[in-house]
Chains A and B, each alone.
Chain A
């Protein structure tokens, strides 16, 4: 803005003319019309008409420039907002990581401190106690490792390996992996797969990960005797759709907006990293698709994935 005020008004006018020919054309037309019309009534009228027309030209220019300024300011503040939102989520993410790692570290420290105490005493420590402490250290390292490894997956932005993928095949493979767990809880696992589903261009291992994750979540959420339904079908706009529906506990309304956030979990300490669904979300976005959730608390949840049949490679 500052810069523009130093350039000549005439240059500004030419600059504006390019972008707003229609508006300026009308104003100029008024100038051209006003002077001969004014001349008929007398030179004073011609002068007044000319002045008025020139004034309208200047006003138009000013209004347009103000509109431009406002637009640029809005763009700038949108950018700043996005930046501050990004910073806030990095802050939140770091606090989440710190918390998830600090807890296993705290236990490791306790176990080691306790073992050191035991070995300071004259008599040799109880073998069972020593073993329990060491086993717990291994446990907690595994817990922390799961978090760091998931984070690495989460952060990895490598190119998906694109090939022709038979989505129904992937669904069948993954449902067979969870069949046993479903049987144990007497859960009815229903597959409604469209037989004529087109091949899609996608990354099979990444899709397997997403579908397995959704199935595991569904099994955890569903009580004995419930039903999990997996649906595949062709959708509009050359897309395919996969649904994982369950009749489980459902997700409370207030949690729905956070369900894909990293580290968001309602599971007890050490039982869930809260990264599963956020990883799924990241994968589906990278594959050019969308994942959405609908849920009614106490009745069940439905995760719907839409994927393009052909992957747009630009910008990926």
Chain B
């Protein structure tokens, strides 16, 4: 991997968001965090990101709606869904909308990092092709 990916973390649960941001930053990643789908879209309009970690159940614009809006406006970053919701139907819909990975909370930091790296590799490979 050439450089470390820029990560945007979207989760309405403040403590979870801040913890993960702190932990990923300690691993050397450049991380920004957003507390809602709308905030995530604002952030994406300002700066490019490589990998987005996206929660599903959020008040207001939920994860699925956010995912659809991200894919429409910013197709470049890879999206990893990180959720506590265990519905298979939701997972299918998530993959259909173009997320690359699905992680169920709670999961070890190592797993999150491994998924981020895979997603980033995939993004780089996609860019090289085009």
A: residues with CB less than 8 A from B are 94-95, 98-103, 105-111, 113-114, 117, 136, 266, 268-270
The distance in angstroms between the C-alpha atoms of A151 and B108, with both chains bound, is 27
Taking residues whose C-beta sits less than 8 angstroms from the other chain, chain B's interface range is 20 to 34
B106 close to A102 (CB less than 8 A): yes
Q: Does B105 contact A (CB under 8 A)?
A: yes
A102's partner among B20, B105, B108 (CB-CB below 8 A) is B105
B105 proximity list for chain A (CB < 8 A) = 102-103, 105-106
B: residues with CB less than 8 A from A are 12-13, 15-16, 19-20, 22-23, 26, 57, 59, 83-87, 104-109
The distance in angstroms between the C-alpha atoms of A99 and B86, with both chains bound, is 7
Q: 21 pairs across A/B with beta carbons < 8 Å?
A: A94-B86, A98-B86, A102-B84, A102-B104, A103-B16, A105-B84, A106-B105, A107-B106, A109-B107, A109-B108, A110-B16, A110-B19, A110-B20, A114-B19, A114-B22, A117-B23, A136-B15, A268-B59, A269-B13, A269-B59, A270-B13
Also in contact, A103 and B20, with CB within 8 A (given A109-B108, A113-B108, A268-B12): no
Give, as a whole number of angstroms, the nearest-CB distance from A265 to chain B.
9
A94 proximity list for chain B (CB < 8 A) = 86
Also in contact, A107 and B109, with CB within 8 A (given A98-B84, A99-B84, A99-B85): no
B19 close to A99 (CB less than 8 A): no
Q: Interface majority SS on B: helix, strand, loop or mixed?
A: loop
The distance in angstroms between the C-alpha atoms of A107 and B12, with both chains bound, is 13
- Nearest first, the 5 A-B pairs at minimum CB distance are A102-B84, A106-B105, A106-B106, A110-B19, A109-B106
The distance in angstroms between the C-alpha atoms of A95 and B87, with both chains bound, is 6
Give, as a whole number of angstroms, the nearest-CB distance from A20 to chain B.
48
B20 proximity list for chain A (CB < 8 A) = 110
The distance in angstroms between the C-alpha atoms of A98 and B90, with both chains bound, is 14
Give, as a whole number of angstroms, the nearest-CB distance from B79 to chain A.
19
A105's partner among B19, B26, B106 (CB-CB below 8 A) is B106
A107's partner among B19, B22, B59, B107 (CB-CB below 8 A) is B19
The distance in angstroms between the C-alpha atoms of A25 and B109, with both chains bound, is 81
The distance in angstroms between the C-alpha atoms of A107 and B105, with both chains bound, is 9
B19 proximity list for chain A (CB < 8 A) = 107, 110-111, 114
Give, as a whole number of angstroms, the nearest-CB distance from B31 to chain A.
14
Give, as a whole number of angstroms, the nearest-CB distance from B7 to chain A.
16
B87 proximity list for chain A (CB < 8 A) = 95
B22 close to A106 (CB less than 8 A): no
The distance in angstroms between the C-alpha atoms of A109 and B84, with both chains bound, is 13
18 additional A-B pairs beyond A98-B86, A105-B105, beta carbons within 8 Å, are A94-B86, A95-B85, A95-B86, A102-B106, A103-B84, A105-B84, A106-B84, A106-B105, A106-B106, A106-B107, A108-B106, A110-B23, A110-B106, A114-B22, A114-B23, A266-B59, A268-B59, A269-B13
